[in-house]
Chains A and B, each alone.
Chain A
Amino acid sequence: MKPLLTHNRIGGFLLLIFCLTYAALSQRIPSIEAVQSTTMPSGMDAASMPFFLSILGILLSLWVIFDRAPTKNTQPAKDLNWWRFIMFLALMLGYGWGIRPLGFLLSTSLFLLIGFRILGEKRITLLVAVSCTIALAFWLLMSQLLGVHLEPLPSILRLLDA
């Protein structure tokens, strides 16, 4: 007896939800009559392709869900360290929020330091030395060699500077 929840079915179901959401959102696209500015009448308007893709996506998701072809379950989910994964997602989001207010050097050093720490590096001096050196070296490489300007310092210091 085949298990009901195979990897294919879970994936197919998730993508079916995505396709249904896409289809629902595609209803918000104004049709050709609503957009009077079009000078060139065409058989296709901005909503045609999304409409077609919605149908195709939903049909294909159903195909994947109801496909009777044998599937392999490659990775048992219990061997995975989800906690570490979620911490890294949070760390990356934090980096995105912090990069402007904290400046490149501080935010990058912190990002690397915490990342190394989560993955098990415990020696504090090594953590600080490696993360700060990489952040500084990378900033020098980008700003001096490639001419890409990145604000190095926190915005508070920049205000004081001004």
Chain B
Amino acid sequence: MLEGILTGLDTVFTLQNILFLMTGCFAGTFIGMLPGLGPMSAIALMIPIASTLEPSAGIIMMAAVYYGAIFGGSTSSILINAPGVASTVATSFDGYPLAQQGKAGKALAIAAVASFSGGLIAALMLMVAAPFLAGISLSFQSTDYFALITLGLVCVAAFAGSSTMPKALLMTVVGLMLSTVGTDQIQGVPRFTLGVIDLIDGISFLLLVMATFALSEALLQILKKSDAKINNGPANLGSMKVSKQEAIDIAPPIIRSSVLGFFIGLLPGAGATIASFLSYGTEQQLAGKAKGKLFGHGSLRGLAAPEAANNAAATGSFVPLLALGIPGSGTTAILLGALIAYGVQPGPLLYINHPEVFWGVIISMWLGNVVLLVINLPLIPYIARLLTIPSQFLLPLILFFSLIGVYFISFNSFDIQLMVLFAASAVVLRLLAFPMAPMILGFILGGMIEENLRRALLIYDNNWSFLWERPLTFSILVIAAMVLLWPLLRTYLLKRAQESAR
């Protein structure tokens, strides 16, 4: 491992990579602060620029954009009670009351320190967990990968909650369907190309991500009639100082939430949002009656816990991505797409073939968190001022960056037209409350699941028995089935309990 860490240090500590890392952190913070634009849009918007870089520099920058966006999201939660992303909703519970009490500076400082600690602790755990899991996964076969991908897809839908589960599952299938467009990998026959030459290579993942996230988000804001005035937040942030007593008070919640966040981040589909809410609830329970009552009214613990947890979960979600090559969330799915575009296949072999990418990303997270704390925190008041760009200028600019970002890669104006089609469909579906993240995950994993299933069938002589004869595959599939059936079963049991109570 020491050798790996040295490789990582060697990769990260070049002037060029540090610059890209800082650019990523800054851009991520800024985009994450814009209402509605979360980490997924932030990464998608940066891919065109990252794609001009070499793989390790590009992926370091995109990882920086990721945690920068989470950090930026918490800033807008605290200052203007407008969480840019779901994972920072819990931050606004106590962060915004603090800002209203004139303690915005302190709230920002605590959020930054908590994110920093969460990121740092989780990066440490990542350093141990990823190579360990990569080592184990070397013995995985296509059949196990097929089962793992199925589990990942099912989890994302299941964690969406029982009422949205059918919709999330349907969107996953739509994503899988879109992934089959283009020339079939093994037989070489065109599928669903409708005779259009531009579709022979399939739909580009960047195009789909950009259309369904950045573009559709901007279009949704254009669609909303009320030109709501953007709340600029408090003019005076107040002192950023945190007293010694306060630091001692928030340290245990930060450590607990970081560990919790990391493990939740490992689970496919769970991610930063669930981690932040869970840690908030846990800390409220642990705080005791007197301090627990403060939660929701400006409790420092209530601010620190979800901040540490969401950043730790973001780091944790890199474990399945780096070690197995299977993303557990929409955001890591986009990163996977970007890596594949570089010709770098994440998974156990990444650890062997591209140690500089593997370790570079891990080490860069340490440095990235320092950058966020030391450089971004003092800059927050100035970045917040950028939020005052009037929306009539901002929205067309977001549209332009999304369109040109895709055009840059292909230089094909057909892509712009396809994007408009997808974006319009995404707007309609989002208005009807259909989730987009499961579709992206389905799209990215679609090719992998088909390839692994075909390979498995080849190995097992077209016999489907591997599904139940190979213990590992069978166990993973059983877990997937349980994850899928549990929300349905729970709803059914609750209903019966209610009926019998009547």
Contact = CB atoms under 8 A, between A and B. Distances in A.
A130 B393 CA distance: 9
A124 interface: no
A128 interface: no
Given A60-B166, A63-B166, A46 B189 contact: yes
Interface string A22-58: 1001100110100101101111111001100110110
Most buried by A among B414, B420, B458: B420
Given A29-B191, A64-B167, A80-B224, A134 B177 contact: no
B192 A96 contact: no
B430 to A, nearest CB: 9
Interface footprint category on A: 35 or more
Interface string B448-465: 001001100110001010
Contact of B403 (A8, A96, A142): A96
Contacts of B419: 92
Interface in A74-127: 74-75, 77, 79-82, 84-85, 88-89, 92-93, 95-97, 99-100, 108, 111-112, 115-116, 119-121
B177 A57 contact: yes
Interface stretch (B97-105, B180-188, B253-261): B180-188
Interface in B403-448: 403-404, 407-408, 413-417, 419-420, 423-424, 427-429, 431-434
A60 B457 contact: no
B392 interface: yes
B285 interface: no
Contact of B396 (A42, A54, A115): A115
A121 B227 CA distance: 13
B223 A84 contact: yes
Contacts of A60: 166, 169-170, 173
A22 B173 CA distance: 11
B191 A50 contact: yes
A75 B221 CA distance: 13
Interface footprint category on B: 35 or more
Given A22-B192, A77-B431, A142 B408 contact: yes
A96 B167 CA distance: 32
Most buried by B among A50, A63, A112: A50
A14 B428 contact: yes
A111 B396 contact: yes
Interface string A128-154: 001000100010001000111010000
B413 A99 contact: yes
A64 B429 CA distance: 13
Contact of A46 (B170, B174, B184): B184
A58 B281 CA distance: 39
B167 A42 contact: no
A43 B186 CA distance: 12
B52 A35 contact: no
Given A15-B174, A57-B177, A119-B222, A40 B432 contact: no
A2 interface: no
A156 interface: no
Interface in B185-233: 186-189, 191-192, 194, 219, 222-227
A125 to B, nearest CB: 14
Contacts of A50: 177, 180, 191-192
Most buried by A among B176, B222, B408, B432: B432
A120 to B, nearest CB: 5
Contacts of B187: 30, 32, 35, 37-38, 45-46
B416 A53 contact: no
Given A8-B167, A99-B416, A46 B225 contact: no
A9 B222 CA distance: 25
Nearest to A99: B413
A88 to B, nearest CB: 6
A96 B52 CA distance: 22
Contacts of A37: 187-188
A85 B427 contact: yes
Given A67-B166, A130-B393, 5 more contacts: A46-B187, A63-B170, A82-B223, A115-B396, A120-B392
20 contacts: A11-B434, A12-B167, A22-B177, A25-B194, A67-B166, A71-B163, A74-B433, A75-B431, A81-B223, A85-B222, A96-B417, A96-B420, A97-B413, A99-B407, A108-B400, A115-B399, A119-B222, A120-B227, A121-B392, A146-B52
Which 7 A-B pairs give the minimum distances between C-beta atoms? A115-B396, A96-B416, A119-B392, A43-B462, A11-B432, A46-B184, A60-B170
